[in-house]
Amino acid sequence: MKKVGFSRSIHLKFVLIYVLLILLAMQIIGAYFVNELEDKLITNFQNSIKESVNYIEYNLREEMIKEREEDGPTLEEDIEDILADASRSTDISEIRVIDKNKKIIGTSDSDNQGSIGQRSTEVSVTRTIALGNTQDEVFIQEHTGTRLWVYTTPIVKNGNETIGAIRLVAEIENVYSQLRDINNIFISGTVIALGITAILGVLLSQTITRPISDMRKQALAMAKGNFSRKVKVYGYDEIGQLAITFNNLTKRLQEAQATTEGERRKLSSVLSYMTDGVIATDRKGRVILINDPAAKMLNVSRETVLSQPLVSLLGLDELYTFEDLSNEQNSITLDYSTNEKPYVLRANFSIIQKETGFVNGLITVLHDITEQEKIDLERREFVANVSHELRTPLTTMRSYLDALAEGAWEDKEIAPAFLDVTQNETERMIRLVNDLLQLSKMDSTDYRFNREWIDFIRFFHQIIDRFEMTKQQNVMFKRFLPEDPVFVEIDKDKLTQVLDNIISNALKYSPEGGQITFKVEVKEDMMQVSVADQGMGIPKENLEKIFERFYRVDKARTRQMGGTGLGLAIAKEMITAHGGDIWASSVEGKGSTIYFTLPYDRIQEDEWS
């Protein structure tokens, strides 16, 4: 899982939220405080000025209503003295005194003395004299940008008669300068407070985020399969209870994972050691599981078939859909046979469904029935061959016996020939039945050999001598046998039967004037015997089949010579039972060679010799 960066961690988010809340609170408090402070300072400033104006207004009223002496100071001079004392405040820029005729009769501005005697054009003065009420306004000087407060108040005589007006201009910029200084102090304090708050927020957030971070690390470890870690419990508040619950959950998940893993291993072991192939699909028919036997049966790789449709994997695209397979009650035979090799599978299907009946997928079980099909085919062929082999002599015998019963027995020339044929067919059936009995005994589990140590070279010479003395064809025997004895442990009677069958076949198919070669070669752990003739040979495609029961290369000629088609099959069973092997080689038109091997132990031979 990707590591969470600090910029995206809950720790930073918690600190940011905490700081932003503090900042918002301080901004609200600051805005309220500054607004109230501004109103208070302006109000105090104005009240202070108004008190001074009231005092000035009283003095001016007294001077304006007082009768003048001829040799005394003029009104303007008295007003100038009063304004000189009143304008000593640093906040007052100018004080003007205007009579009821709107004529300026005094000013505290020494640079503006020329305006005395002129008419005032200010609207506020006109309104004050006309209405008898005060006027005040704040404006900004264009050339300096400072704020000025203009206060105009009437000079009232006898309570209701306006005899003039006082126009005062004060520099209120000092109040706003004080507010800016206070704001700067407040901002500096806010920054310091936020810094301290951030530090405290980091420390405080750690107490909350540390157990959460521990649980996150534990969750990551659990995702990787590590259930051994435990979350540290820092307290018994809600987060502490969450940590305890998380540890309990970890323990239960560990137990559940161990149980699941055990079941998975059991299932995996069962699937791996099953001889049958198993394929599981999802509800859409895509392969989600295939065991090794199934992959081997279908000759595919497990990695490449995952997510592949089942019908495509089994080669049933043209015949079935996935829904058809889900509803299939009977097994389906899959024939993958080639000209060289038969290969047949049987597929059984079982659906996977929930208790609600919803189909989750399909289980397919594959069985390799190639050998079973082969055995069934061989059984059918065996029954057919036995039936055919018995029916042919029985039919011949019945024909001849019917002829004899109808009077042919009285014919002295025909009767002996008919009886001779009947006798030959009877002997042929006896040989066939004896061979079948022999094979039946070989197939029996309690069949035993009477093994003994014999000199095979001497034993082989005796068999060859017997055939050489009784042969009726002009066939030469040639021997390539070791001069020294070769001792092997065999059943003498069974090996006699094997050699009789092989040599008899060689004599049957050898032409007049031909040659049969006998050879024995001693190798490290086996002895190899071969019998070669110069007959018609065996086609290459038939070489592997001549050891099958009832198989004949030339059926017509074999029957003519009285063969049953079981001799080489019996020879193969007996050689295999002795721990050896038997095979043939041939060139058409030049002859055939039958080889077989027997186990050979030189140490045992030394003891017997």
**DSSP string of 62-112, one letter each residue:** HHHHSPPPTTS--HHHHHHHHHHHHTTSTTEEEEEEEETTSBEEEES-GGG
Query: Is the domain of 455 the same as that of 438?
Result: no
Query: Is the domain of 268 the same as that of 334?
Result: no
pLDDT band at 532 (very low <50, low <70, confident <90, very high): very high
Residue 1 lies in a domain: no
Report d(CA 14, CA 61) in Å as an integer. Answer: 69
Say if residue 32's pLDDT is above 90: no
Residue 3 lies in a domain: no
Distance from first CA to last CA of the chain, Å, rounded?
79
From 273, 308, 342, give the residue that closes a domain.
Answer: 273
- With beta carbons less than 8 A apart as the criterion, state whether 207 and 234 touch: yes
Please give the pLDDT value at position 527.
92
Query: Is the domain of 384 the same as that of 322?
Result: no
Report d(CA 599, CA 527) in Å as an integer. Answer: 6
Query: Is pLDDT larger for residue 424 or for residue 284?
Result: 284
Percent of the residues in the chain that have a pLDDT greater than 70, as a whole number: 85
Q: What mean pLDDT, rounded, does the chain reach?
A: 79
pLDDT in tens, 543-580: 777 877 666 655 444 444 445 567 787 788 888 888 89
Domains contained in the chain, number: 5
Annotate 203-240 with three-state secondary structure.
HHHHHHHHHHHHHHHHHHHHHCCCCCCCCCCCCCCHHH
Of 27-41, 236-250, 260-274, 309-323, least confident by mean pLDDT is: 260-274
Global pTM reads: 0.40
Query: Is the domain of 459 the same as that of 408?
Result: no
Query: Is pLDDT larger for residue 607 or for residue 218?
Result: 218
The residue-averaged pLDDT of 286-305 equals 85
- What phi and psi values does residue 463 have, to the nearest 5 degrees? -65, -45
Query: Is the domain of 26 the same as that of 156?
Result: yes
From 273, 288, 310, give the residue that closes a domain.
Answer: 273
Query: Is the domain of 421 the same as that of 480?
Result: no
Query: Is the domain of 315 the same as that of 240?
Result: no
Closest CA to 302 of 311, 292, 316, 312: 292
Element (H, E) at 286: none
- With beta carbons less than 8 A apart as the criterion, state whether 481 and 461 touch: yes
In this structure, how many other beta carbons lie within 10 angstroms of the beta carbon of residue 158? 8
Please give the pLDDT value at position 84.
75
Query: Is the domain of 279 the same as that of 267?
Result: no
Query: Is the domain of 244 the same as that of 324?
Result: no
- Burial track 61-76 (b if 16+ CB lie within 10 A, e otherwise): bebbeeeeeeeeeebe
The residue-averaged pLDDT of 528-540 equals 88
Report d(CA 45, CA 555) in Å as an integer. Answer: 141
The residue-averaged pLDDT of 138-151 equals 82
Query: Is the domain of 259 the same as that of 313?
Result: no
Residue 196 lies in a domain: no
Residue 246 lies in a domain: yes
Query: Is the domain of 279 the same as that of 243?
Result: no
Expressed as residue numbers, the domain containing 399 is 374-443
CATH of the domain at 522: 3.30.565.10
> What one-character-per-residue DSSP string does 362-408 give?
EEEEEEE-HHHHHHHHHHHHHHHHHHHHHHHHHHHHHHHHHHHHTTG
Query: Is pLDDT larger for residue 19 or for residue 73?
Result: 19
In this structure, how many other beta carbons lie within 10 angstroms of the beta carbon of residue 214? 18
Please give the pLDDT value at position 557.
45
Of 86-100, 502-516, 587-601, least confident by mean pLDDT is: 86-100
Query: Is the domain of 29 the same as that of 156?
Result: yes
